[in-house]
Structure 1
Amino acid sequence: MAILAHEISAVSAGELLAQDLRIPHYQRPYSWRPGTALQLLEDIRDAHAEDPSAPYVLGAVILHTHDGEFDIVDGQQRLLTLLMIKQSLAGADQSSGQQSTPIVQARRVLIRALDGISDQERNAIAEYIDTHCQLVRIVTDDADEAFRVFDSQNYRGRPLAPHDLLKAHHLREMDSDSEALKAAAVETWENAGSERLDELFSTYLYRIAKWSKGESAPGFSAHDIDLFKGVSQRTKLTPRARYHLAAQSVMPLLEAWRPNDSTDEHLNKHSRFQLNAPVLAGRSFFEMTDFMLQELQRLRDQPSPFSRHPQTPPETHATWLKRSRYRKTTELYLASLLYYTNCFGDEHLAAAENALFAWAFQLRVRLLRVQHASINNLASGNADQRSAFVLMRNADDGRVVQRLTPDLGRARDDHESALRAALEAMGA
């Protein structure tokens, strides 16, 4: 690890906050809950009341130094909260209109907690923070090592989510791009929202990557992000990596060749971002993520094949996702449909929708309770049936999914009778 030996030291909070620190693009926005920020203030006040001359250690802060600047790698939430506490003690105007972001909520709680205390006490606590609250300051000039500590536990916080780690990795791969391009990539990513990004990678892309190879997909974690690190032009390339680099680099040329053909543009995007192939690291990853979010939303907004059955209301897949009883099987179906359109476009799509719907929803008809283990077994091919994902990975024609043979089991009284009838009508 390239930690600089002369840059490991205990420093006061005042000394650290006076430095020229920068929050890099890859860091997530402030996310501490008001209660967590308030707890830090209360801990400091308790320590000051117990012994105002004793140091109070607030943990370690890791900084990455480059080009004379210091990026905060670990400790951002803590340092921002300390800064807000100091501003609140000083009576600084921190109003932010009607906004209700986590940082605004934390400020309001801190201001209320300090309301009514004397100026003398305010000054004493502020002085205590500046001189006696200490942090271990660790500086590294190794960006890779800085990245590896992202998933460490923050003070009273939480580790970065896997998609946060991917954002950091691919931003580092954009070193040669302009700051404007980096800022645009971050803005698009943040606008998507953490919940949608987590869903895209955890519920869909990670599972597709595992299930299409016949592997189990127990849950997406930081240990699985290598699946999406892609091909980097900064490292030594294998023949396979060279092939994917060349193939994907030429796809934007195809998009520019026929810019007025929206059908070709859509197909070109699928061709460029093949889920069976690694994405190019850096900007291409962010473009792939944005496209997959749009494609997933397009599929969710389509009518469910169940709605084509007589005497059933027209409902979209998004509606089915809101029903806890059908959520797991709908997610399985949408994952298979997302993979289908990525492999084959809209070729034979109507027939494929029926086949994949019947294959995924057989579990809802056959079982009284559908659990993740049942979904995982069917999707990875560990059950007695073929995996739709493995079939599609090894096929050149979308009609391959019509070989799926769902097993509806025996009928149980009125258990999902309407769904069973619809699946039978689809050929299950």
Structure 2
Amino acid sequence: MTKGNNKELMKIESPSKLSYGISKIRGLPFDKLIVAYYQRPYKWNIKNVNQLISDLIEAQKDSEYRLGTIILFKRDDNKYEIVDGQQRIITLSILLYRLLKKFNKYNNEKFLNFYNKLNKFWVNTKFKNPISIQHVKNNLAAIDERLGDLDEDFLIFLLSECEVVFIELSEISEAFQFFDSQNARGKDLEPHDLLKAFHLREMQGDSLSKEDEENIKNWEEYDSKDLSELFLCLYRIKRWIKGKDAKFFTKDDVDTFKGISIGNHYSPPCYSPEIYCHNFASLSPTIIAFPFQLDQIVLNGSRFFEMIKHYADLYKQIKTSRFFEQYCLPDDPSSASEIIGFLNKYGNKSRTGDLYVRDYFDCLLLFYVDRFGLSEEINKVVRKIFLFSYLIRLSMHTVQLASVDSRAKDSLILRTIRDGLTPYDVINLAKPPLEKPASNADGDLLWFYKKTSNNNSSLNENENK
């Protein structure tokens, strides 16, 4: 939020059909604004509302005040979908509605037209997401508590002296591309935010099923840090199995999670497996789950959100020792549950190098479970994955990200998981030798590694095949 001025607003690499300018709040076409279904929930909270009101009170000392930028997509019916800025627009509409009511301006000829536009906005805005509904209720109550601080001059200032920069495009794809490019320069936007915008756009025109709405709701409830961790893991697997480096997942790498759009006229034969699976699973989605695989082509739109839910659940499970207890066998030494329980608690697990190796371990395990699923063999597989991954930690004095990345993309065990046909292709790998532990090797980790290695006889496991 900034003071207005007459300087050039911004330099824009103009899409083909773009107009932009400045509008006073009273000039915004609230009656034509649409909060589209693909938008994220309304999440401004009481703190945001109070900060907005306090900023506006302070700004009354100035001649004008700018409330940021909104990006609009102009539809064929001359209505405008809010591509960016919905949080601010919704909050302003609530605040203005309550102010007009307080000062009885809804009966005043000068304000009647604007009041009717606000009413129309709320008729058009039908929230289904319980997160949005709850925030609207909370913010209404917060605004009512602040009404005593606000006078009629405040209302006039907000309507006539406050303004927004609007950017209007008549192509939805360009609206989102512009949104992506503008936000990609910001510090707070994560790569997964851009992916969300892209795949929501791909869903335009689809009638959302209950499963779609639930998957999007789940996405909104994920912690951003958890999503970043998940996408980094998925990105590394997708890159490492192709022999490519994958130290970081950035905004330049989001194309990794963009694929094909079902229904496009161009569908070469290489798309057929994914399209057939999509069509078959769509026949009875509550019975037949789509068979996601990390090395397959991503399906844009609804399947993307379903995919992320699938892998978010799986990623959480493989990091939890209790999840593997169901696969423990009587007298099974160094079970999957025991190994993961140890990795979750040993003393130096939070050292930088140990964190890099744990990420590698998690990637290997997730990729294996993605390929072969879960069975009693998982105990033998986790032992093997542990021995291959933590050999890096115990044999190196200093473990750097580049070291793990270099080994991972040329990893024998990763290639074996990728190319194998049964769990025993992994189980039958010869255990790697730990010739000389590093001088700073964690004592507990070294002891547990030797214990696991001694319980990992390939000959015995071959006999059990």
With the shorter chain as reference, the TM-score category is 0.7 to 0.9
Q: Which of these residues, 285, 306, 311, is aligned with residue 292 of structure 1?
A: 311
Summarize deviations over 1:70-123 as a string: whole Å, max 9, x none.
22112223334444554676797xxxxxx9x888887888778x5864x5xx32
Take 1:406 and 1:56, find their aligned partners in 2: how far apart are those partners?
66
Between stretches 22-31 and 222-231, larger displacement belongs to 22-31
Aligned-partner residue type, residue 414 of structure 2 = F
Aligned-partner residue type, residue 378 of structure 1 = R
**Mapped contact 1:408–1:420 kept (Cα < 8 A):** no
Summarize deviations over 1:161-204 as a string: whole Å, max 9, x none.
322332332233333532445534422433445444333222x2
Take 1:116 and 1:31, find their aligned partners in 2: how far apart are those partners?
25
Aligned to 1:79: 89
Q: Which of these residues, 11, 22, 26, is aligned with residue 10 of structure 1?
A: 22
Aligned to 2:380: 351
The 5 A counterparts of 1:63-142 are 63-66=72-75, 68=77, 69-83=79-93, 86=96, 117=149, 119=150, 122-142=151-171
**Mapped contact 1:32–1:157 kept (Cα < 8 A):** no
Q: Which of these residues, 362, 374, 378, is aligned with residue 334 of structure 1?
A: 362
Take 2:402 and 2:148, find their aligned partners in 1: how far apart are those partners?
56
Aligned to 1:324: 350
Take 2:51 and 2:381, find their aligned partners in 1: how far apart are those partners?
54
Q: Indicate how the Cα distance of structure 1 residues 394 and 139 shifts in structure 2: closer, same or farther if over 3 A, else same.
A: same
Take 2:346 and 2:281, find their aligned partners in 1: how far apart are those partners?
34
**Mapped contact 2:397–2:438 kept (Cα < 8 A):** no
In the alignment, structure 1 residue 394 sits paired with structure 2 residue 413: no
Take 1:145 and 1:224, find their aligned partners in 2: how far apart are those partners?
20
Q: Indicate how the Cα distance of structure 1 residues 364 and 83 shifts in structure 2: closer, same or farther if over 3 A, else same.
A: farther
TM-score normalised by structure 2 residue count = 0.70
Unaligned runs of 5+ in 2: 1-13, 103-131, 326-331, 455-465
RMSD after superposition? 4.2
Summarize deviations over 1:337-394 as a string: whole Å, max 9, x none.
110122223474322211111122223323455443333222223xxxx353334223
**Mapped contact 1:28–1:164 kept (Cα < 8 A):** no
Q: Indicate how the Cα distance of structure 1 residues 131 and 247 shifts in structure 2: closer, same or farther if over 3 A, else same.
A: same
Take 2:235 and 2:346, find their aligned partners in 1: how far apart are those partners?
19
Aligned to 1:95: none
Classify the secondary structure of the residue corresponding to 2:60: helix
- Cα displacement (A) at 1:211: 1.3
- Cα displacement (A) at 1:232: 1.2
**Mapped contact 2:334–2:383 kept (Cα < 8 A):** no
Summarize deviations over 1:10-66 as a string: whole Å, max 9, x none.
211232263332333433345568776666545544442133xxx433343111123
Aligned-partner residue type, residue 198 of structure 1 = S
**Mapped contact 2:25–2:162 kept (Cα < 8 A):** yes
Aligned-partner residue type, residue 225 of structure 1 = V
Take 2:316 and 2:75, find their aligned partners in 1: how far apart are those partners?
40
Q: Which of these residues, 203, 211, 215, is aligned with residue 174 of structure 1?
A: 203
Take 1:366 and 1:107, find their aligned partners in 2: how far apart are those partners?
60
Classify the secondary structure of the residue corresponding to 1:150: helix
Classify the secondary structure of the residue corresponding to 1:19: helix
Aligned to 1:58: 67
Classify the secondary structure of the residue corresponding to 1:63: strand
Q: Indicate how the Cα distance of structure 1 residues 50 and 171 shifts in structure 2: closer, same or farther if over 3 A, else same.
A: closer
| Larger Cα-atom Rg | 2
Take 1:126 and 1:157, find their aligned partners in 2: how far apart are those partners?
32
**Mapped contact 2:69–2:164 kept (Cα < 8 A):** yes
Aligned-partner residue type, residue 298 of structure 1 = Q
Take 1:153 and 1:36, find their aligned partners in 2: how far apart are those partners?
22
Percent of aligned positions with the same letter in both sequences?
Answer: 28
